[in-house]
A and B are shown apart, each in its own frame.
Chain A
Amino acid sequence: MKRALPILAVLVVLLAAIAVANPFFLEPAGFLAFLKRAAPLVILAAGQYFVIVSGEFDLSVGSLVTAEVVIAARLIDGDESATWPVIALLIVIGLLVGLVNGVVTTKLRVPSFIVTLGMLLILSGAVFLWTGGAPRGALSEGFRVFGRGGLGPVPWSVLILLAVGAAAIWLMRADFGKTLMATGDNERAAALSGVRVDRAKIFAFMLSGLAAAVAAILLGGFAGVSAQVGQGLEFSAITAVVLGGVVLGGGRGSVLAAMAGAFTLEALFTLLNLYGISGALEFTVQGVIIIAAVAAGAIRLPWKFTPRKGDAHAAS
C-alpha cells in the first residue's frame, strides 16, 4: 500500500483534471465508463507485473490478445452455443502460451526478452497467415456482453477487473508471491533456500498469458474484431507497470501500484483525448513515460551510499 501512494496521488490529480474538463466524468455512469475502458489494460498490467517482478519480461501479450480475439471470432462465428467452450479454449491458449514462454526462458536459458519477442512475431505471423489480413467470423452476443454489457449499471468488465485485482493482491501476499518476489530479487539465494525458482517464473508467465486471455475477452466485446486489437498493448502494459514504480529487473514494487499505473496511463490518454490531442501521440507519450520512469528509479539513491563499479576506478 505504501509503495502505491505516489502513483495513486498522480492518478487522483489526473482524474481531477479530467473531471474539470468533462463534468460528466463525475457521474457514476461517466466514471464506470472510464473503468470499463481501462479494465483490459489494468488486467494486462497485473499479469505483466508478475513476470516483471520475477525479473523477466513478457512482450508477447499484445499479439496474444489479437490472436485470441481473431480465434474467438472465427470459431464462434455468431453461434451462441459456442460461447462458453470458446472462452474456455481462449483461457487454455493463454495459459499455454505463458507455459511455453516460461519453459523456454527457464529451462533453455533464453532471455525472456528474446523468447517473448519471438512469441510476439510467431503469433502475429500466425494470425496474419490464418486470416489473410482480414479476420473472418463474428463474436456471439453472449461473448460480447463481457466487454459491453453489465449487471445492472455496473459493467461486467469492472466486476471482472475487481475479481482479477483482488486475486492478484491475494496471490502476492501468499507464499507464491513472496517467493516470486524473492526470486526476482536474488534468484540464487531463493534457490538455495529451497524455492523452485523455475516453476515460480513459469507460473508468472502463465498468469500473464491468462491475463491476456481475459483482456482479449473484454476487448473483443468492447472494441470489436480486428487484426490490430492488441497492437502495442505489451508496451502499454510494461509502461503501466513501470509507471507504478515496479523496478525492471525484478524484486521490487507492488501489484496494486502496477494496476494504478495502468489506470494512470488510461487517464492520461483520456485527458489527451479531451484536449483534442491526437491519439497517434499515445505511443510517443508511452515512450517518454517509460524512459522517464526508469531513469527516475535509477537516479533515486538509497541514503546509504553503496559504491558502484566505477567509483573505485575513479578513486584508485
Chain B
Amino acid sequence: MLSMRGIGKSFLGVRVLSGVDLDVTAGEVHAVVGENGAGKSTLMKIICGVHAPDEGSIEIDGRPVSFGHPLDAQRSGIAIIYQEFNLLPERTVAENVFLGREPVRRGLVDRAAMEEATARLLDELGEDSFGPRDPVKRLSVAQQQVVEIVKALSIDARLIVMDEPSAALAEHEVELLYRLIGRLRERGVAVVYISHRLREVFDLADRVTVLKDGSRVTTVPIGEVSSDELIRLMVGRDLGTYFPPRSAGAGEVRLSLRAAGNHKLRDIDLELRAGEIVGIAGLQGSGRSELAKAIFGAEPFTAGEMTPSRPRSVREGVAMGIGLVTEDRKAEGLALRQSVRDNALLVARAVGGAKGRNGVRDLLERVRLSPPRQEQEVRYLSGGNQQKVVLAKWMTMAPRVLLFDEPTRGVDVGAKAAIHDLMRELANDGMAIMMISSELPELIGMSDRIVVLRDGRIAGTLPAGPTEEAIMRLAAGEVA
C-alpha cells in the first residue's frame, strides 16, 4: 500500500538519507533495522509527514502523495507510535483515544459513543484487562501501548509505524505486543517495526529493510537471512562471536551484602568480586534498578550489612569507589546541553578529585568514542556514544565497583559490541562489575554469574551460560 522511491533528505547540508526505497504491503510487518544514525528515524518521520523529503516520491495505493504536515499523513491512514507515549495520565482511556476529535452530540461530548467505540476496538484486540473508563495513569506501560494502538486504529490507520515498541516493556509484556501485532496483521493493517532487538525482528517481521549510513542496503524476506548475516549487513562487518570471552576467574571480594534491604528489597545476600561480571536478571518491578541504586547510595539500604560500609548518600557511594551507569541516560546520566568534556569530568569535579582531569582525551579514546570530540554537546551524539561518555565519566575516578543498569538499551549494534568489550576489559583490569539487563542474550553472553531477582528478593543464582528458560523460570517464579 505504501511505496517510497528514491527518498533523499539533508539537514543543513548534511546528507541523512539518499535514494531510499521502501515498499510496504497491507497486512505486512516490515522491520526497519540499522545502527543509530543510519537514518531510520528520519525515514519514519518522512513517512509520517513530520519532515518533507528533498527528493523522491511517495505513493499510497498507487496515488502519489506529499505530506506537508503530520495531519496529512494521518488522513491517508498512517499513524506512528513513538517510544515515549503521548497520553494524558489524568484522562481516561476513551478520552485519550479520541483526544482532539471527540464525537459531539448537541454541542456536548458524546461520552457514551466514545466509550463504546473504544470498548469495541479493545475487544477486537482481545484486550480485557482494562476498560475505556480507566484512567491512563493506572495502566502499565504495556497497557498504555495498547491505548496508543487503539488510538491509531480509531482513525482507521492502515499503516502503523512503531518506534522501538518493546524498549519500555518487560520481557513478559513483549508477548502481549506480539499478540497485538498478530491481530493488526489479521485486520490487514501494515506495521513498520523499528527495533534494535533482532530476536523480535525475526519473531515478528515478514520482511526486513536494512539501512546503513542513510542508504538502503537491502530488503529481504525474513526467512532468507540469518541473524549473523543481518548484523553484518547493518554494520558492514562481521561481529563474530558477539560477546568478548570470559575471564579466568574472580579475585578478592570488593563488596558484600548480608540480609540487606529497604522498602523495595529484602534479604539480599550478594558478593561482587574483582574481575567478575555479575548479571542481574528479573522482571520489571522485581527490584533490579533499586538494587543498583541501594548499593550506590542513591536509595540507600535501611537494613542489613554491607561491607566495606553501607553508603547513605550518592557521595558516600562515590567515595567508596562505586559508580552507577543509570538505566535512563538522558534523564539520569547526562547533562545533555553540556559538552562531552564537561560531562566526562562531572564526577571528578563533583567530588573534587584531581584524578583524570588531564587524561580526558585518553579516556575518550579508551571508551572508543568516535570521533572523540570533546567540545560537542552530548545531546547531538548517538545513543551509543552518549553511553560511552557516561562510562568515561565514571572511569575518571577509577571505580572499584561499577554498576550498569541496562548498559546497551537504545544503543546500536556496533556501539553495543564496543561497550561489551569495554566492560570485560574493565573487569579484567580488576574492577568488580554488576550488570542489570532485560535482554537475556546479553545477560547470558556477558555474565560470569547471574543473580535472578523476584519481588525484591533473590530468587536464585545461576552459573555462567544458563539457558533463557532457566532465568525466566526463576524470574517468573514457576516451579522448575
Contact = CB atoms under 8 A, between A and B. Distances in A.
Given A181-B338, A251-B335, A314-B74, A194 B79 contact: no
B51 A316 contact: no
A251 B338 contact: yes
Interface string B66-92: 000111011000111110001000000
Contacts of B475: none
Contact of B12 (A196, A303, A311): A303
Given A181-B338, A251-B335, A316-B86, A305 B50 contact: yes
B393 interface: yes
Residue in A185, A305, A311, A312 whose Cβ sees the most chain B Cβ within 10 Å: A312
Contacts of A185: 335-338
Contacts of B298: 191-192
A185 B350 CA distance: 15
A315 B338 contact: no
B314 A252 contact: no
Nearest to A200: B350
Interface string A263-304: 000000000000000000000000000000000000000111
Nearest to B324: A192
Nearest to A176: B349
A188 B86 contact: no
Interface string B241-272: 00000000000000000000000000000000
Contact of B74 (A178, A188, A305, A316): A316
Contact of A175 (B73, B79, B331, B349): B349
A315 B50 contact: yes
Interface string A162-195: 0000000000000100110110011011111111
Given A251-B338, A313-B86, A178 B50 contact: no
Residue in B86, B99, B331 whose Cβ sees the most chain A Cβ within 10 Å: B86
Contacts of B20: none
B368 interface: no
A140 B11 CA distance: 63
Contacts of B343: 182
B460 to A, nearest CB: 30
Nearest to B47: A315
Interface residues of A, number: 31
Nearest to A253: B337
Contacts of A178: 342, 345-346, 349
B414 to A, nearest CB: 20
Contacts of B81: 316
B462 to A, nearest CB: 30
Interface in B335-362: 335-338, 342-343, 345-347, 349-352
A314 B71 CA distance: 6
A307 interface: yes
A315 B73 contact: yes
A302 B14 CA distance: 13
B49 A179 contact: no
Contacts of B326: 189, 192
Contact of A194 (B11, B48, B351): B351
A109 interface: no
B315 interface: yes
Contacts of B155: 316
Nearest to B375: A2
B444 interface: no
A107 interface: no
B45 interface: yes
Contacts of B74: 314-316
Contacts of A193: 314, 318, 346-347, 350, 393
B86 A309 contact: yes
Contacts of B449: none
Residue in A178, A303, A309 whose Cβ sees the most chain B Cβ within 10 Å: A178
Interface string B305-337: 000000000110010000010100001111111
A189 B335 contact: yes
B162 to A, nearest CB: 11
Contacts of A175: 349-350, 352
Given A192-B333, A196-B350, A315 B314 contact: no
A314 B350 CA distance: 42
A267 B379 CA distance: 36
Contacts of A302: 379-380
Nearest to A312: B86
A190 B100 CA distance: 38
Nearest to B377: A302
Contact of A305 (B45, B336, B338, B351): B45
18 contacts: A175-B352, A185-B335, A186-B334, A188-B332, A189-B326, A192-B324, A193-B314, A195-B346, A304-B11, A305-B11, A307-B50, A313-B99, A314-B70, A314-B71, A315-B70, A315-B78, A316-B80, A316-B86
Given A302-B380, A307-B45, A315-B73, 12 more contacts: A186-B335, A192-B298, A194-B347, A305-B45, A305-B51, A307-B50, A315-B48, A315-B49, A315-B70, A316-B79, A316-B148, A316-B151
Interface of B: 11-12, 14, 45, 48-51, 69-71, 73-74, 78-82, 86, 99-100, 148, 151-152, 155, 298, 314-315, 318, 324, 326, 331-338, 342-343, 345-347, 349-352, 379-380, 393
